Chain A
């Protein structure tokens, strides 16, 4: 409504001081505060620190947004708990007498019980710890797998987080360059197909085989990503449309490959499933045979670190970020915008392909027509939650990994359906995508213009 036209200025939700205070001579305190919120106040500090230090500093100085994310997760847990409790028949029954202590106690028990089970399934279970200390000696404890049992929840969390980190990076990196990669799924499939084929169809020496398969996963995904970038660069086809379409194409292509024995279907099997990859193509386990955590987790962390380095410390990253923020000015400054689009989509596709390789070579060992799961879509959520930054993606992926890892125990122990985790994820995203809502709940002062949700939605117009 025009009567409620916002103040002039760059779409700030705060009363914008407008042209007035953002001045040459004395900067107003508010403008200074805004500047301070987004950049280190002392220019000399960050330059003397290492890249990682600078990155950390940035994350801390952008504290307002970080606080909002944490509060969003907290709010989601509260709302999720309430949803959980009020969908539980015991609780509803107790609430036929709403003001009795019994009703509240049931509510509390149900809500917290699910979370406790979730925690035990994803971080650490006290029962396994006490079982460990009841063993006669350390050696028997280790030998009989009691030690592994303690770390199993964490291991499962990492295993679930690994493909999310990689696929999340595949969304976050193009986002920094102004592209919205919805094609995590197709790139994942591309990587998984190549990794699987190299895994069972080719025989190679021990160490080389697994490395070749991982590289193959990267290449398979990168090819799909490259196609998207090339189409955009040459014809201007919007990457959102192209990636969505490629998701369908690759999903059906995978089904096709798995439908014929002379293609990729396992010999003698009627189901759409490939042969198992050779054992020397398996990614090595990190902590013995009882824990599923494997080298792909390290690959994922290394990729996150590499992307962070690429973005902040290299000329390539400088070009990516510059093009993401203002493609027109970047072109005037002599950057080849189209070539960068192709490059960033190629790298992103490779990262999503690595996610495929992690799943095939790390845990599944066979490829079926459902292997891609919902990684492509979850990756967008993870990147959103991680505010498009590599480190943020790692944390977000670990959180979602923990939710996934803990869900089975939660169902077993409390009868809460596994789908509760999906509800929780959805509510987290709702809160993260609406920073003004979180701010108003907790009465936080508005930060600089443009929350994560806002900047992500801008991706559609870029």
Chain B
């Protein structure tokens, strides 16, 4: 089906979210919609999906004008949407979720059973009786879902309960949900934001299968690399308007400049590191999860003042648990964490914060911010009890507001007011609030986990600059990231984690293939038990040496 949007305009009050947007998607094509957060991508797709009504313009399907008053109309016309936040019932099975709202009733599949073969009339009677009484035909649903997922290589177990599934698989359920409703145009809204690199590769494979089957795909993203990999055509949106259309062969710099409206430094420029004394010293750290599984297994590393240690690795190899253990959010089974020689192994989170750890958590909405609190309150979330923000139990609201006003200015947080709930801010600005809070107080070590996840190009540039600035001020920085680009951009030294262990330390000019091997578990010393003792020490470059390749 050929989909065409003509002159779509959508206004919210005085803001023009979509300004005369033209877009056409040919059958069997992947059309990427690239733009920063707030460029109007989602608004446009909500118009297409019938969630919003355009103020002007029209939608053409195979040349015929179509009007979608609700998602039902859009679905009936063959448009499917996979939202960034999934719309699944967590406690239902895959099959139940897929058929939610279009459930098959009547046990017609009884006819295929042994009973059906021996007593066909009885089976027919049962089928029509159960159809009238609204009994769900689970057997048929399961079979259909199984068939469909096999056809597209989706590998879904129809009986699995959704909440037990990893995010990447849940996304497949959403895709199957759309396919079951005969979607010929599939909208994927930031589909990779929640996926691990491996899951992303899987998704791309699925997209190619769908494409081969004639499905058109609208792929919304702000990640340049992905768009270049998967798209046939790239349309760039900025401030609600189409600013250009490019083939996937366009350079990253060109696309980034189109998106942001100015030239962007994709890789932050930085001087070679001048590492000082060891500040953060982790030795033989072992951490277990709630289920007793050992997530971090005898890990040892050191971070010096004025250097950035980047921890690379496929997500789910213990990075999250490592950060949580460093912050005291997860008990340590054995080993030690020392900061400037002080043992923090069994310190509480607040003791660690007091000792000079600054922490940018992986999940900023869950762990970094209180969404309903104001920007100002969030900026003192871990300092509210100390002067000048409080004396005794008395809060000084004036000091909190002053602090917020200063930090909002310094970190360029775009918010209508420092009293606005932080949840109303965009992801980039939320991250700025966290950075402002953590960097605004005395600290010696910065632990940042996935510091730019879900951020647009402009915000990534800002966050990276600040992190390098911290290093240059003599802070010991530990970056955990699943994005190799980020590791390369920031790290002065790279450690690779695999199944709770560090498989090797490398200088920042190491080839990606080598890192890939380490990420897949190839250890420096494949033979013999990995204790982290000898090889970790040898891998640490001497201060000032071995950093010539830093930055590029």
Contact = CB atoms under 8 A, between A and B. Distances in A.
How big is the B interface, by class? 35 or more
B141 interface: no
B423 A40 contact: no
Contacts of B239: 25
Contacts of A67: none
Contact of A326 (B83, B100, B371, B385): B371
Contact of A23 (B46, B177, B377, B426): B426
A4 B417 contact: no
B99 to A, nearest CB: 9
Contacts of A30: 12-13
Interface in B1-48: 12-15, 17-18, 36-44, 46
Nearest to A18: B42
Interface stretch (A99-107, A312-320, A367-375): A312-320
B540 to A, nearest CB: 29
A70 interface: no
Interface string B324-339: 0001010000000000
A35 B424 contact: yes
B425 interface: yes
A136 interface: no
Contact of A10 (B38, B39, B423): B423
Interface in B63-118: 70-72, 75, 83-85, 87, 100-102
Chain A contact-residue range equals 35 or more
Contacts of B393: 314-316
Contacts of B18: 20
A35 B425 CA distance: 10
A44 B417 CA distance: 10
A43 B189 CA distance: 35
Interface in B203-231: none
Nearest to A36: B416
B115 to A, nearest CB: 32
Most B-side CB within 10 Å, residue of A1, A28, A33: A28
B401 A43 contact: yes
Contacts of B352: 334
Contacts of A3: 71-72, 75, 101-102, 181
Interface string B344-357: 00001110111000
A349 B514 CA distance: 61
Given A1-B101, A10-B423, A330-B370, A20 B353 contact: no
Contact of B41 (A19, A32, A42, A48): A19
A461 B113 CA distance: 43
Contacts of A33: 13
Nearest to A321: B373
B417 A39 contact: yes
Contact of B71 (A5, A32, A321): A5
A22 interface: yes
The 3 closest A-B pairs by CB, nearest first: A29-B13, A23-B38, A334-B350
20 contacts: A1-B100, A3-B101, A7-B51, A19-B41, A20-B39, A21-B15, A24-B426, A27-B15, A35-B417, A43-B418, A316-B393, A318-B395, A322-B377, A328-B366, A329-B368, A332-B361, A332-B367, A334-B352, A334-B353, A336-B348
